[in-house]
């Protein structure tokens, strides 16, 4: 196995709250992304996945933990030292309306990363921008148009072209299709897949939509309340989720639901991140929770022979091909 392009260990982000204890939006996320791979970061809104993404591209300063990119610790790079990194890691945003400056033409939006880094591409900036527009499936003639003249999907393509301008190696895509019509989502996901294949790009895809992740990502990490509760290869996670939360998530999607088992309805609210439950954070909504769940925090460790890691005291049994290593806890 090649060494990972991006390695995240114990990444934590606290936000100060006036007149109260700090809120831990992300508490100790571990993640490893191999070159050319697409990893999906999945979870409900408010689980810290967007905050994690913002830290990966260093828009937010991590409170604790480390981010290693291509063997280099980039956790606390600042100022000039950060600049070369900016070229390597880019981000695609969720909101196709807010992420494009309404007063700039498409040309200057896509050219912006070149401009701020003082890059003069061979053949001129305009040529380069038009290449990029073509690459993402836009008409290069639209160079001088303004964002408000485009549809949501087209705007998202502009945002992707901008992220590609610096020839990055890693792109963090924060819910890139969740604001789009379902019919357009597929087109944008296909575009990203094509880019991953043709340009050898590495992706971290942040999404709440499990279907999108399954179409695009080779590996998946599921987050709940600031922590990764399960991670592994796509096939393993989707075929045999081992964390109860993952199971519940999957069962909510009709096409993906476990055959015949029906939907698992989670009861209760997601606890406030200001005051997370002790021990396992999912225990307040878990149907398998026992005393140990309140006292000891389960670690995210691979169980069994596969690469599938799960943070649960009572994980679901492994899928058929690893039957022997069944969980000791009672199921259901």
Partner 1 sequence: MALPAEVDLNPAPPPAEPAAPVAPEVAGRSPSRLAWARLKKDRVAVVSAAVIVLMLVIALGAPLIEWAYGIGPYDDFKARLDRFGMPLGYAGGIDGDHWFGVEPHLGRDIFIRLVYGMRTSLLIATAAATLTSVIGVLVGLAAGFLGRWVDAILGWVMDFALAMPFMVFALAVVPTVALRFYGPRDDIPPLFRGVVLVGIFAVFGWTGTARLVRGQVISLREREFIEAARAAGAGLGHMLFKQLLPNLWAPILISFSLALPSYVTAEAALSFLDVGMVEPVPDFGRMINKSINYLQSDPAYVFFPGITIFVMVLAFNLFGDALRDALDPRSSR
- 43 scored as a contact of partner 1 (CB under 8 A): no
Q: Which stretch binds partner 1 (CB under 8 A): 23-31, 93-101, 233-241, 307-315?
A: 93-101
Distance CA 31, CA 39 (A): 9
Give the closest residue to 222 by CA, choosing from 316, 320, 323, 325: 316
Closest to partner 1 by CB, 106 or 289: 106
Residue of 64, 77, 112, 294 interacting with partner 1 (CB under 8 A): 112
Residue of 90, 202, 246, 306 interacting with partner 1 (CB under 8 A): 90
Distance CA 51, CA 28 (A): 12
| Residue 124 beta carbon to partner 1: minimum distance, rounded to whole angstroms | 19
DSSP secondary structure of 97-123: TTTS-TTS-HHHHHHHHHHHTT---TT
- 104 scored as a contact of partner 1 (CB under 8 A): yes
Our measurement of the distance from residue 100's CA atom to the centroid of its chain's CA atoms, rounded to an integer in Å, reads 21
Residue of 29, 100, 221, 300 interacting with partner 1 (CB under 8 A): 100
Listed in sequence order, the DSSP H helices in the chain are: 49-56, 79-88, 106-116, 125-135, 152-164, 182-199, 210-216, 234-239, 244-251, 291-295
Closest to partner 1 by CB, 41 or 100: 100
- 250 scored as a contact of partner 1 (CB under 8 A): no
Binders in 218-237 for partner 1, by CB under 8 A: none
Closest to partner 1 by CB, 137 or 271: 137
Q: Which stretch binds partner 1 (CB under 8 A): 68-76, 187-195, 257-265, 300-308?
A: 187-195
Cα end-to-end span (Å), the chain: 36
Q: Which stretch binds partner 1 (CB under 8 A): 17-25, 53-61, 64-72, 312-320?
A: 53-61
Distance CA 126, CA 144 (A): 11
Q: In what order do the strands lie in the sheet with 72-73?
A: 23-33, 6-15, 64-69, 72-73
Q: Which stretch binds partner 1 (CB under 8 A): 22-30, 69-77, 110-118, 223-231?
A: 110-118
**Reduced to 3 states, what is the DSSP secondary structure of residue 200?**
coil
- 50 scored as a contact of partner 1 (CB under 8 A): no
Distance CA 132, CA 158 (A): 9
For residues 162 and 171, the answer to whether their CB atoms sit within 8 Å is no
Cβ neighbours of residue 161 closer than 8 Å, sequence gap 6 or more: 110, 129, 132, 133, 135, 136, 138
Q: Which stretch binds partner 1 (CB under 8 A): 88-96, 218-226, 290-298, 307-315?
A: 88-96
- 258 scored as a contact of partner 1 (CB under 8 A): no
- 144 scored as a contact of partner 1 (CB under 8 A): yes
- 49 scored as a contact of partner 1 (CB under 8 A): no
**Reduced to 3 states, what is the DSSP secondary structure of residue 11?**
strand
- 162 scored as a contact of partner 1 (CB under 8 A): yes
| Residue 311 beta carbon to partner 1: minimum distance, rounded to whole angstroms | 27
- 57 scored as a contact of partner 1 (CB under 8 A): yes
- 132 scored as a contact of partner 1 (CB under 8 A): no
Residue of 21, 72, 76, 101 interacting with partner 1 (CB under 8 A): 101
Distance CA 200, CA 36 (A): 5
For residues 246 and 239, the answer to whether their CB atoms sit within 8 Å is no
The site for partner 1 (CB under 8 A) is made up of: 54, 57-59, 82-83, 86-87, 89-91, 93-95, 98-105, 109, 112-113, 115-117, 136-138, 144-146, 148-151, 153-154, 157, 159, 162, 165-166, 182-187, 189-191, 193-195, 197-198, 209, 211-212, 215, 253-256
């Amino acid at each position: 196995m090649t060494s990972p392009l991006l390695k995240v260990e114990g990444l934590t982000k606290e936000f100060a709250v006036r007149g109260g204890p700090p809120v831990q939006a992300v508490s100790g996320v571990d993640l490893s992304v191999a070159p050319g791979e697409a990893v999906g970061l999945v979870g409900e809104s408010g689980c810290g996945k967007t905050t994690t993404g913002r830290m990966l591209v260093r828009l937010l300063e991590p409170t604790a933990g480390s981010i290693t990119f291509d063997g280099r610790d980039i956790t606390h790079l600042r100022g000039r030292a950060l600049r070369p990194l900016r070229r390597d890691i880019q981000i695609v945003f969720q909101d196709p309306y807010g992420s494009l400056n309404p007063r700039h033409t498409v040309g200057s939006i896509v050219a912006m990363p070149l401009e701020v880094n003082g890059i003069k591409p061979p053949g001129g900036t305009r040529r380069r921008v038009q290449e990029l527009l073509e690459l993402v499936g836009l008409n290069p003639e639209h160079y001088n148009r303004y964002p408000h003249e485009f549809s949501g999907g087209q705007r998202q393509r502009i945002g992707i072209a901008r992220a590609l301008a610096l020839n990055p190696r890693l792109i963090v895509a924060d819910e890139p299709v969740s604001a789009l019509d379902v019919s357009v989502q597929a087109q944008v996901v296909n575009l990203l897949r094509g880019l991953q294949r043709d340009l050898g790009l590495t992706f971290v895809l942040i999404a709440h939509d499990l279907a999108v992740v399954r179409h695009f990502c080779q590996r998946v990490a599921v987050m709940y309340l600031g922590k990764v509760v399960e991670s592994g290869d796509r096939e393993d996670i989707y075929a045999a989720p081992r964390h109860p939360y993952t199971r519940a998530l999957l069962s909510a999607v009709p096409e993906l639901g476990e055959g015949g088992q029906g939907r698992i309805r989670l009861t209760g609210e997601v606890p406030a991140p200001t005051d997370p439950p002790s021990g396992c954070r999912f225990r307040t909504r878990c149907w398998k929770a026992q005393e140990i769940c309140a006292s000891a925090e389960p670690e995210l460790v691979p169980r069994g022979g596969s690469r599938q890691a799960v943070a649960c005291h009572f994980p679901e049994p492994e899928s058929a091909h690893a039957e022997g290593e069944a969980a000791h806890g009672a199921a259901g």
